[in-house]
Amino acid sequence: MNLRSVLVVLITLALAVPFTALSLFLVAAISKAAELLATLPASDWPSLAEEFSGRWPELAGMVIGQAALMLILILARRPESAAGDA
């Protein structure tokens, strides 16, 4: 393996480890939030629905933006040259 491959693996690990820890923390926080939602009285659900109805365009915009970025990355990918494989 050349230095570039080793560097790519190390960068991937450096990104993966903190995000894995963050995801474990978020799973614990979400489970606590779910317990809190289960204890809400029925009168609070309409206000939650009203809040979501105002926020769904933000969520849709983020999803569409991520899809657009992925499409750009896929379409802009350069073809690999045959000389690079040798």
| pLDDT at residue 58 in the model | 86
Q: Is 63 found in the same domain as 47?
A: yes
Confidence at residue 84, expressed as pLDDT on a 0 to 100 scale: 57
pTM of the predicted protein model: 0.40
Task: Tell me the C-alpha distance between 21 and 33, whole Å.
Answer: 19
Residues 7 and 34 in one domain: yes
- Domain total in the chain: 2
**Averaged confidence pLDDT in the chain:** 81
HSE toward the beta carbon, residue 11, CA cutoff 13 A:
6
Query: Does residue 21 sit within a domain?
Result: yes
Residue 86 pLDDT exceeds 80: no
pLDDT score recorded for residue 76:
83
Residue with tokens 């963050």: 22
- pLDDT, average across residues 32-43: 79
Q: Indicate whether 84 belongs to any domain.
A: no
Question: What integer pLDDT is reported at residue 85 of this predicted model?
Answer: 56
Distance CA 67, CA 73 (A): 10
Coil, helix or strand for 6? helix
Query: Are residues 46 and 35 both part of a single domain?
Result: no
Element (H, E) at 40: none
Task: Evaluate whether residue 55 is within a structural domain.
Answer: yes
Cα(37)–Cα(31) distance, rounded to whole angstroms?
10
